[in-house]
Structure 1
Amino acid sequence: MRTSSTNVIMIGIATCDLLCMLIIIRNGYIAQKMMVECTPPRTLYEMRLDWFLTSVHNALRRCSAWLGMLIALVRYIVITDITSQCNKYSTPIYGMRVTMITFLASFVFSLVFFLHVDIVEAGTWQPGGNCESEEIYVVYNQKFNDFFESGNALLARIRIGMEAIFSKLIPCFSLPILTFLLLNEMRKTLKISSSTLEISMANKSVRKSRKERTTVITIFIATSFFLSEFPLGIVDGYKAIWRGNMNYE
């Protein structure tokens, strides 16, 4: 698994998706707990932690989508340069570098996402007569940041628009193109003989089979990301253009 850049990027995608699922499970547990009648509202610290994890989830989803696009791009570069004796794009170091840069870029986007919302005091809550506690609790809520909402929410529209373009639409529109190029290269490799004096026919067959399997997996990943992220890109674009008074999600 550590012998190619493609496998390293796959590990990055799997890590992002695993952490996303853990955050979703954690949020689902909290939501179920809050449905109990006598459960007090979330404290200020808990609300801030919830929003921080929501921002992390946002970063990981974006990073996973970007890595899905990059894995197709890197794989295309690798298979179009198979004659090179030292293809730097196929090394694990290159895959690690691509993954780390993508992580950092995605978290920069999510930093703006995090700053878009403030946690403010919304009122008080007192347990009902069936509850043992009689303590009065402060209720906190999420509120759009006034800085982003000023000027007819111009900055908010820009942020959501950039989210739609760079995080959803660009990866989704580039994936079909890269998938077509990968399929085209696979057809070429089936027609062109790559026999050499140094490599036996058996070893050549094994290597060719492994390359084709990796390319097929890459195409599958690229297609699945297109199906999952493109509708969300349309939704984000709608939010940026016709924002109105929609609740923040």
Structure 2
Amino acid sequence: MRTNCINILMAGIAACDSIIMTWMVKNDVTDYLEDECRPPSNFFVVLLEVVASGIQDILRRSSAWLSLLMALVRFLAIKNALNSKFDFLSLPIFGVKVILGAVGMSALTTLFYWCRVRIVEVEPWRAPVSCGIFPAGSTVPHYTQLIVPMFFMDAAQALKVFNVIDGALKIVPTGIFPILTFLLVQNLRSASKSRQKVFIAKGASQEENSHKTDQTTKLVILMAITYMTAEGPLAIIYLIQGFATGPLELLDMCQDLNNVLSLFVALNTVTHFLICLAVSSQYQKTVKNLFSCGRRLKIDMLSQK
């Protein structure tokens, strides 16, 4: 799979989505196992949760921008296919640089809010009388997250500013995606018409290569459409939460919509695998090799005997 920039960007998006989904499952499992007899987490565990929450926020935003950058790179590669100065767009190392740049820029936004988080010790946790597994009167240190004032803003103001910035960074790709998708479709049609005139002289091998090129472009277009459907409405909700000052019912409705629309984000993550599997022949070959590795190992062992 590590043969071109698009595949590297696909791997970056997959890594972001996998970590995000793992964190969501972890939170659901933790909520399910919550028990009044279970003591609070120690300082180290709370610290890990804060760091993991920040990483999840960084990767969630990075996944959106990597989808946009993948479409942009594909458009520029097709637009300048005959210009050797743009050959770097197809190199795997360029995909790595794009991923690092997107994650770095997303980290700056996350630090604006998460650098204000402090872990403080509050009143010790006391085991309820109904919990017989603890001695009477025993206590456990209790740590929690606290948002401290910074830049002359309290926690509520900082959250509003963060929601506005985060929503804007999500809605910008949503607005650019339709333009890039339209341009990709136009370039795909133009390239197909031009190749049809050349196929007669070039032969079937050139036609096979062009088919792979078309499949890659279709993959990018499909992933762009799924992103617009999943992240666009959620970005609007973030902006409303950032600008709205009331009434309280509006903020509660936005929070409810946020929870519902998060389900579409999860579905979007699942469709990435299905789209890649349906469109990319390299992806299909890699998945086939992955799941047939046990059978190949058995054949190799039998051949050695």
Q: TM-score, normalised by structure 2?
A: 0.72
**Corresponding residue number in structure 1 for 2:118:** 118
**Corresponding residue number in structure 2 for 1:181:** 183
Could you tell me how far apart the structure 2 residues matched to 1:240 and 1:143 are? 20
2:223 aligned with 1:221, yes or no? Answer: yes
Is the Cα contact below 8 Å between 2:120 and 2:144 reproduced in 1?
A: yes
**Corresponding residue number in structure 1 for 2:148:** 145
Unpaired runs of at least 5, structure 2: 259-305
**Corresponding residue number in structure 2 for 1:3:** 3
CA RMSD of aligned residues (A): 2.7
Is the Cα contact below 8 Å between 1:195 and 1:204 reproduced in 2?
A: no
Is the Cα contact below 8 Å between 2:125 and 2:140 reproduced in 1?
A: yes
**Corresponding residue number in structure 2 for 1:162:** 165
SS class of match (1:142): strand
Is the Cα contact below 8 Å between 1:58 and 1:110 reproduced in 2?
A: yes
Aligned residue identity for 1:89: L
The structure showing larger relative contact order (alpha-carbon pairs under 8 Å, at least 6 residues apart) is: 1
Could you tell me how far apart the structure 2 residues matched to 1:140 and 1:231 are? 35
Q: TM-score, normalised by structure 1?
A: 0.87
Is the Cα contact below 8 Å between 2:113 and 2:158 reproduced in 1?
A: no
Superposition map of 1:196-235 within 5 A: 200-235=202-237
Is the Cα contact below 8 Å between 1:120 and 1:143 reproduced in 2?
A: yes
- Per-residue deviation at 1:213? 0.5
Structure 1 residues 84 and 3: alpha-carbon distance in aligned structure 2, compared to 1, 3 A threshold: farther
- Per-residue deviation at 1:149? 6.5
SS class of match (1:63): helix
SS class of match (1:193): helix
**Corresponding residue number in structure 2 for 1:13:** 13
SS class of match (2:195): coil
- Per-residue deviation at 1:194? 6.6
Is the Cα contact below 8 Å between 2:147 and 2:155 reproduced in 1?
A: no
**Corresponding residue number in structure 2 for 1:102:** 102
Is the Cα contact below 8 Å between 1:149 and 1:155 reproduced in 2?
A: no
Could you tell me how far apart the structure 1 residues matched to 2:49 and 2:30 are? 10
Could you tell me how far apart the structure 2 residues matched to 1:151 and 1:116 are? 10
Is the Cα contact below 8 Å between 1:5 and 1:95 reproduced in 2?
A: yes
Is the Cα contact below 8 Å between 2:149 and 2:155 reproduced in 1?
A: no
Unpaired runs of at least 5, structure 1: none
**Corresponding residue number in structure 1 for 2:27:** 27
Q: Deviations over 1:11-51 (max 9, x none)?
A: 11011111112222222232222x22310122232222112
- Per-residue deviation at 1:63? 0.7
Could you tell me how far apart the structure 2 residues matched to 1:139 and 1:80 are? 59
Q: Deviations over 1:119-165 (max 9, x none)?
A: 33443331122321132134333333212573795554333221111
> Is 179-188 or 140-149 further displaced after alignment?
140-149
Could you tell me how far apart the structure 2 residues matched to 1:7 and 1:227 are? 23
> Is 147-156 or 123-132 further displaced after alignment?
147-156
Structure 1 residues 142 and 235: alpha-carbon distance in aligned structure 2, compared to 1, 3 A threshold: farther
Aligned residue identity for 1:189: A
Structure 1 residues 8 and 194: alpha-carbon distance in aligned structure 2, compared to 1, 3 A threshold: farther
**Corresponding residue number in structure 2 for 1:133:** 134
- Per-residue deviation at 1:182? 0.7
Structure 1 residues 21 and 155: alpha-carbon distance in aligned structure 2, compared to 1, 3 A threshold: closer
Aligned residue identity for 1:174: I
SS class of match (1:38): coil
**Corresponding residue number in structure 2 for 1:240:** 242
Q: Deviations over 1:205-228 (max 9, x none)?
A: 111100110011101111111112
SS class of match (1:20): helix
Aligned residue identity for 1:69: L
